[in-house]
């Protein structure tokens, strides 16, 4: 059995729409919100307004449904800001149904390629799946307007489809976020990347050169080096944001696939640098504190064949794990 499977964008349709109020008592702001995450809302409001969290109180009454749709800070920071502008007067933002559909969080559309088989007894074995193939519609604009080879694009280099995890959770994500954030947050770093030939303008397209020399590894190492230095907040935030995207992916794939394990093992160069991996973990914890991310290492070589492969200098953990996994699942299909 082989096929592409799609789930459409879904609105949660909770009975109570998004609503929030805010007012001040002395120098403290009280926010009442139909939210599922009061503690995170408190932190976000404090960060948005630049005031200590202790000056913010969040009241979360029983809500009229949420189903995960109210696990983001939405209008609470705006309510808090408005009451500050109005001298502490009561402010209320109450979304209508149409506004809830158009302007708020949805369950993202997901597209994935699955290959499996049926045993002679009719049972279906475990399904190997690379989350890399998921198409997560994050609605990014203008990232959709750029061609896939432009580092600012959110389109997959393989399929051209927008919203691919490839541009949110891997090497391409580092390039995209660097091109998006650094010109305004650390322009000197962006200029250095251009000066070293790690980024290159080709007409109106911004690329990482692959000829006459492939600069992708050098480009990634440059940003990883920067993120590993103290005080390089702009570069560090690139890896934190990737962690947030991975946590969102965990939420979405968990909703579709319902995996048993709470752990996720990450492969690739992004996790070979401990400082960068810690930043990814920090970002993931912002979205999903219970998510446990692990970095693939030689400890995955837990069979005699994998131990032999691990000793080959030309192979990475990702390569031998994937190859052995393919053989394992192929043998399952033959049984």
Please report the domains of the chain, with CATH numbers, ordered by start residue.
19-103 (3.30.365.10), 131-295 (3.30.420), 299-334 (no CATH)
pLDDT band at 189 (very low <50, low <70, confident <90, very high): very high
| Percentage of the chain modeled with pLDDT above 90 | 50
Please tell me the least confidently modeled range out of 172-186, 195-209, 238-252, 296-310.
Answer: 296-310
Q: What is the CA radius of gyration of the chain?
A: 23
pLDDT, greater one: 271 or 239: 239
Please tell me the least confidently modeled range out of 20-34, 36-50, 311-325.
Answer: 311-325
Strands 292-295 and 263-266: parallel
Please tell me the least confidently modeled range out of 120-134, 168-182, 210-224, 268-282.
Answer: 120-134
pLDDT band at 67 (very low <50, low <70, confident <90, very high): confident
pLDDT tops 60 at residue 237: yes
The pLDDT value recorded for residue 200 is 96
Predicted structure pTM score: 0.59
Query: How far apart, in whole angstroms, are the C-alpha atoms of residue 46 and residue 53?
Result: 5
Provide the sign of the torsion angle of the four alpha carbons 296, 297, 301, 302, taken in this order: negative
- What angle (nearest 5°) sits at the alpha carbon of residue 107, between those of residues 66 and 139? 130
Neighbours of 279 (CB within 10 A): 24
The pLDDT value recorded for residue 201 is 96
Please tell me the least confidently modeled range out of 94-108, 129-143, 300-314.
Answer: 129-143
pLDDT band at 26 (very low <50, low <70, confident <90, very high): very high
The pLDDT value recorded for residue 179 is 96
Query: How far apart, in whole angstroms, are the C-alpha atoms of residue 95 and residue 147?
Result: 36
Neighbours of 65 (CB within 10 A): 13
pLDDT tops 70 at residue 115: no
């Amino acid at each position: 059995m082989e096929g592409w499977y799609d789930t459409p964008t879904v609105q949660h349709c909770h009975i109570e729409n998004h609503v929030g109020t805010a007012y001040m008592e002395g120098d403290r702001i009280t926010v009442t919100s139909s939210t599922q995450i009061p503690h995170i809302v408190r932190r976000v409001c404090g960060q948005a307004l630049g005031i200590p969290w202790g000056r913010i109180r969040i009241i979360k009454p029983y809500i009229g449904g949420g189903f995960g749709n109210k696990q983001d800070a939405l209008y609470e920071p705006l309510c808090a800001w408005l009451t500050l502008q109005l001298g502490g007067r009561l402010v209320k933002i109450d979304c209508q149904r149409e506004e809830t559909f158009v302007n708020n969080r949805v369950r993202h559309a997901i597209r994935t390629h699955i290959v499996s088989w049926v045993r002679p007894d009719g049972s279906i074995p475990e399904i190997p799946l690379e989350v890399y193939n998921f198409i997560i519609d994050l609605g990014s604009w203008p990232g959709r307007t750029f061609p896939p080879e432009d580092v600012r694009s959110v389109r997959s280099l393989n399929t051209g489809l927008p919203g691919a995890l490839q541009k949110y959770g891997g090497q391409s994500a580092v390039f995209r976020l660097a091109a998006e954030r650094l010109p305004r947050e650390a322009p000197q770093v962006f200029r250095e990347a251009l000066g070293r030939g790690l980024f290159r303008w080709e007409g109106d397209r911004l690329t990482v050169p692959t000829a006459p020399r492939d600069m992708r590894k050098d480009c990634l190492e440059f940003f990883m080096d920067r993120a590993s230095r103290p005080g390089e907040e702009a570069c560090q935030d690139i890896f934190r944001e990737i962690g947030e995207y991975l946590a969102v992916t965990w939420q979405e794939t968990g909703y579709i696939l319902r995996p048993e394990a709470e752990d996720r093992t990450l492969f690739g160069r992004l996790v070979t640098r401990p400082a960068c991996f810690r930043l990814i973990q920090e970002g993931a914890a912002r979205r999903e504190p219970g998510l446990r991310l692990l970095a693939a290492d030689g400890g995955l070589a837990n069979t005699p064949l994998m131990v032999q492969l691990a000793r080959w200098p030309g192979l990475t953990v990702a390569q031998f794990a994937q190859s052995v996994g393919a053989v394992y699942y192929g043998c399952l299909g033959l049984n």
